[in-house]
Structure 1
Amino acid sequence: MSLPTLYSLRRCPYCVRARLVLLLAQQPVMLRDVVTVNLPDDMLKASPKGTVPVLVCDDSSVIDESLDIMIWALKQSDPSNLLLSDRPNAHQIMMALINRNDAEFVVSLDKYKIASRYHHNDVVDYREQCVRFISDLEQRLTKHDYFMGNKPSLADYAILPFISQFSRVDRCSYLKSGLNTPYPNLQRWLTAHYQNPLYSTAMTKFPLWLDSHEEFLFGRL
């Protein structure tokens, strides 16, 4: 029986979160690493919109949204209970948090990154837009170690790559908010993820598919 094929870009935050959860679900796939400037024809045939990640399942069905890939993997196997299936209403709360990240924070983050890179005058405004979400996460982490409790959930891994990006735009600004107040809980949360061997496994660098035409087994710790 053939395994699903995952087209992935190593540093794309959407791909990172998909790879993290594939590992946590222990869902093996054959990974093909790509770059956006030269996407494989097979991938574009499967998903003409031309964005990653793209998962081509063994029945030829295609999943081309990262969150859908994550949920698909956890429905196959969820040994860490990232979907919080034993907690009534938790799924709805978790998905609302993820949707806020995807629909609001990521939009502001993209503008913040561009403004910072090109030294635009509105960089502070875009950063403050990001901080609204960051501050809410910090407050949530005063109650427990992770966003939904004392163990990681789907929300933590779905949001992680974007917080990682935010922290690198302006390191000093990340460590100190506009009121010179650090985000100790969020910093602790991010450091804990970085120190988990799972993260380095998810960020493993593979030869590009179009250079080597070699795919790699991925998804087993």
Structure 2
Amino acid sequence: MGLAPRNCTSNMLLPTLYSFRRCPYAMRARLGILLSGQKVSLKEIILKHKPEPMLAASPKGTVPVLILQDGTVIEESLEIMCWALTNNDPQNLLLSHNPQQQEFAQALIHTNDHSFKPWLDKYKYADRYPEHSEQYYRQQGEQYIAQLESILSKQPQLMGHQASIADYAIFPFIRQFASVDKIWFAHSDYLNVQRWLKAHVESDDFSAIMKKYPTWLESGDSFEFGLMSN
């Protein structure tokens, strides 16, 4: 498994993915694409200088944005993951034929995106939210971390023994939470979350999706991104 790094500026046959390397939403989208074996033309952007073609396709101006060959725009990271894995899901990350697990995975991701993420933002940028202390915001986020810790104390991944869409959709955000105060997190009681996060962050898949690319506006280059056979 690996990335095909060649320039594909002239290749109009691939979907176009506008991405920002460090954004956890973009990370989950790239993971879904990689793990599905799909290929896209990746255009790396700078959030302070968003390309006009991206804004024309998705006026909300956030990444990731996926533009399919027929012009269809997918502008939500989870929808990009589902698009990719619906096309090809060799590891059964979508938990096919197990509606109960699918429902639980959806609930965990929903809590991550709608409850945990707002507290994560306030924890990460506590100086912008002086109403409360950084510790207060961390404690609010810890409620979700504790939920994950309870699950991971019983099994290696969120849905059992094998990783699923829940793990790949969630761990980029837990990585961000852990990075706010690395010393505190390393000494916290969330040993199973630490173990789970470490395994994902140190995986070949994560290394692959975190490859650095020149920005599209500066270089004019897009790059073929996705699974490449060895």
TM-score, structure 2 normalization: 0.91
Query: CA shift at 1:120, angstroms?
Result: 7.8
> Given the alignment, which residue of 10, 18, 42 partners 2:29?
18
The yes-or-no answer on 1:200 pairing with 2:202 is no
Q: Give the distance between the partners of 1:171 and 1:114, measured in 2 at CA.
A: 15
| TM-score, with structure 1 as normaliser | 0.94
**Which of the residues 154, 175, 194 maps onto 2:165?**
154
- Matched ranges for 1:118-157 at <5 A: 122-157=133-168
Structure 2's unaligned 5+ residue stretches are 1-11
Aligned-pair Cα RMSD in Å: 1.6
Asked if 1:167 is matched to 2:174, the reply is no
* Matching residue's letter, 2:68: C
State the distance in 2 between where 1:204 and 1:120 align. 38
Question: Any gaps of 5 or more consecutive residues in structure 1?
Answer: none
- SS state of the match for residue 22, structure 2? coil
Q: Which of 41, 45, 59 pairs up with 1:34?
A: 45
Ranges of 4+ aligned residues in structure 1 off by more than 6 Å: 116-120
Determine which of 86, 107, 113 is the counterpart of 1:96: 107
Q: Residues 51 and 174 from structure 1, CA distance in 2 versus in 1: closer, same or farther, beyond 3 angstroms?
A: same
Q: For residue 82 of structure 1, give the secondary structure of its aligned residue in structure 2.
A: coil
1:116–1:169 CA contact under 8 A, matched in 2: no
- 1:55 pairs, out of 63, 66, 76, with 66
Count of residue pairs brought into register by the alignment = 217
> Residue type of the partner of 1:151?
Q
User: For 1:129-165, what per-residue CA distance to the aligned partner results, in whole angstroms no more than 9, with x for missing partners?
Assistant: 0100000100000111000110000000100111000
SS at match of 1:218: strand
Q: 1:185 corresponds to which residue?
A: 192
Higher relative contact order (CA 8 A, sep 6+): 2
Contact 1:47 1:64 in 2 (8 A): yes
